[in-house]
């Protein structure tokens, strides 16, 4: 195999697939990247058998071929090379000779036959999404994905088609984030039943969306996988979480009796300041909700106390609610800089957070007993 390609182009592609590579070293071949040269194309594939990425680049191919190489090693080398033309040549001794200007490497490679066979497409259930929509969905909901490995079904974003809207939900037992995408076109039997995309797949999907910020991607599903195709250049295969998603609707209050309005930046910054003196384990802060004002406070037995008073629009009865400040900060941070509404029934009921300029979003935080 022999080819030439610009170093920045190959470096960028290797860096994209590097995050997919198996970090647990369950099988040595999965620490490798499969590289294929054919026609005038160079193809890179990496996988951990749960998430797989494939990138196709334009290249000057003099001799076709394929091989596997340690992903981290080649990425480290490319990171240090100048932005110039690269010559890749596989010799008869099963070595990859990599040359850039006056720099040369001879790298050990593995046969491409050892790499697992992967699929990246199922055209029978295809629909399209704008990359801006994908980024919007992930940015508004991913903070609520659970990191608890014992509850695998919560370790991702749940997508479901509901009355021609694409609904995305993430919950971790302490909070919920829900976003409806109104402008969704397409019918899909798998989406009708709902699918759970795992955290790692979400991260790789976001990377594709950021690579093509003003484009569309094609997405298809089967019983086990989600396949993503961006411009026939960047492909993704993600194994779905094969579990039933909990009935998240039961967490959403059917009606709320109290609500107050407040500037999003005002409460976000206040909670950040008060959190400094909160308990390191619970991050607990109190919100005293009074007619016309909100008092944010905390008390640390070894450090002291902090209080901040903010103006709000509220004329209900006085209520004191405890929160984990970290959850409150993360839930508010995904909203735009506008007024937000807090809806609740009492100090122990789920608290609904809505943004005035984002009617398709709904956030919920469970109160904390302090």
How far apart, in whole angstroms, are the C-alpha atoms of residue 291 and residue 317?
Answer: 7
The runs of H, that is alpha helices, within the chain are 7-18, 71-80, 131-141, 189-193, 199-211, 264-275, 325-333
* Predicted confidence (pLDDT) at residue 367 exceeds the cutoff of 70: yes
Q: Is residue 224 part of a domain?
A: yes
70 with 34: CB under 8 angstroms?
no
Same domain membership, residue 236 and residue 288 = no
- Region 108-136: mean pLDDT is 90
Which tens digit of pLDDT belongs to each residue from 189-206? 788 889 999 999 999 999
Q: What is the pLDDT of residue 187?
A: 66
Same domain membership, residue 271 and residue 231 = no
Same domain membership, residue 136 and residue 229 = yes
Q: Is residue 180 part of a domain?
A: yes
Q: Is residue 133 part of a domain?
A: yes
Number of domains in the chain: 3
Q: Is residue 97 part of a domain?
A: yes
The full DSSP string for 250-313 is: GGS-S--SEEEEEEHHHHHHHHHHHHTTS-TTT-EEEEEEETTEEEEEEEETTTEEEEEEEE-B
Q: Is residue 370 part of a domain?
A: no
How far apart, in whole angstroms, are the C-alpha atoms of residue 194 and residue 169?
Answer: 10
Same domain membership, residue 284 and residue 168 = no
218 vs 68, 141, 169, 184, 236, CA distance in Å?
Answer: 28, 21, 21, 13, 10
Q: Is residue 302 part of a domain?
A: yes
- Reported as a pLDDT band with limits 50, 70 and 90, residue 26 is confident
Name the token pair of 25.
Answer: 């070293």
* Predicted confidence (pLDDT) at residue 315 exceeds the cutoff of 70: yes
| Enclosing domain of residue 280 | 254-365
115 vs 27, 29, 90, 297, CA distance in Å?
Answer: 10, 6, 18, 57
How far apart, in whole angstroms, are the C-alpha atoms of residue 7 and residue 105?
Answer: 14
* Predicted confidence (pLDDT) at residue 135 exceeds the cutoff of 70: yes
* Predicted confidence (pLDDT) at residue 24 exceeds the cutoff of 90: no
Q: What is the pLDDT of residue 182?
A: 80
DSSP letter assigned to residue 241 = P
Q: Read off the CATH number of the domain in which 274 is found.
A: 3.10.150.10
Same domain membership, residue 322 and residue 282 = yes
Q: What is the pLDDT of residue 125?
A: 76
Q: Which of 181, 216, 249 is the last residue of a domain?
A: 249
Q: Which of 203, 232, 249 is the last residue of a domain?
A: 249
* Predicted confidence (pLDDT) at residue 34 exceeds the cutoff of 90: yes
Q: 3-state DSSP call for residue 203?
A: helix
pTM summary value:
0.93
Q: What is the pLDDT of residue 4?
A: 96
Q: What is the pLDDT of residue 370?
A: 79
Same domain membership, residue 63 and residue 30 = yes
* Range name among 179-183, 212-216, 252-256, 323-327 with the lowest pLDDT average: 179-183
- Region 320-342: mean pLDDT is 95
Q: What is the pLDDT of residue 208?
A: 96
Same domain membership, residue 6 and residue 110 = yes
Q: Which of 91, 114, 137 is the last residue of a domain?
A: 114
Q: Is residue 58 part of a domain?
A: yes
Q: Is residue 51 part of a domain?
A: yes
**Mean of the per-residue pLDDT values of the chain:** 94
265 with 337: CB under 8 angstroms?
yes
Which of 121-125, 242-246, 294-298 has the highest mean predicted lDDT (pLDDT)?
294-298
Same domain membership, residue 7 and residue 69 = yes
Same domain membership, residue 305 and residue 287 = yes
- Reported as a pLDDT band with limits 50, 70 and 90, residue 343 is very high
């Amino acid at each position: 195999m022999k080819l030439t390609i610009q170093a920045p182009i190959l470096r960028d592609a290797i860096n994209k697939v590097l995050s997919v590579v198996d970090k647990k070293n369950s099988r040595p071949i999965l620490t490798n990247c499969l590289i294929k040269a054919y026609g005038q194309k160079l193809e890179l594939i990496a996988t951990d058998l749960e998430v797989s990425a494939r990138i196709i680049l334009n290249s000057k191919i003099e001799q076709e071929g394929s091989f596997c190489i340690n992903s981290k090693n080649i990425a480290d080398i490319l990171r240090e090379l100048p932005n110039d033309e690269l010559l890749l040549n596989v010799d008869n001794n099963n070595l990859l000779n990599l040359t850039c200007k006056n720099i040369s490497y001879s790298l050990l490679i593995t046969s491409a036959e050892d790499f697992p066979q992967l699929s990246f497409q199922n055209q029978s259930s295809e629909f399209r999404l704008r990359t801006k929509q994908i980024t919007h969905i992930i940015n508004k909901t991913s903070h609520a994905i659970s990191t608890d490995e014992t509850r695998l079904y919560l370790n991702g974003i749940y997508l479901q088609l509901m009355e021609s809207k694409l609904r995305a939900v993430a919950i971790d037992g302490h909070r919920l984030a829900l976003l409806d995408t109104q402008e969704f076109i397409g019918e899909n039997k798998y989406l009708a039943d709902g699918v759970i995309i795992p955290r790692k797949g979400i991260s790789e999907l976001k990377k594709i969306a950021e690579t093509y910020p003003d484009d569309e991607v094609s997405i298809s599903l089967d019983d086990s996988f989600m396949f993503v195709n961006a411009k026939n250049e960047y492909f993704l295969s993600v194994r779905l979480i094969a579990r039933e998603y909990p009935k998240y609707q039961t967490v959403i209050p059917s009606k709320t009796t109290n609500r107050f309005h407040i500037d999003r930046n005002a409460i976000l910054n206040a909670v950040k300041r008060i959190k400094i003196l909160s308990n390191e384990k619970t991050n607990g802060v109190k919100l005293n909700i009074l007619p016309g004002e909100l008092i944010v406070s905390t008390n640390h037995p070894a450090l002291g106390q902090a209080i901040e008073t903010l103006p709000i629009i509220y004329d209900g009865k006085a209520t004191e609610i405890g929160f984990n400040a970290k959850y409150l900060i993360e839930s508010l941070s995904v909203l735009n800089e506008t007024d937000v509404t807090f809806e609740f029934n009492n100090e122990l009921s789920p608290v609904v957070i809505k943004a005035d300029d984002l009617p398709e979003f709904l956030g919920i935080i469970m109160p904390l007993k302090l």
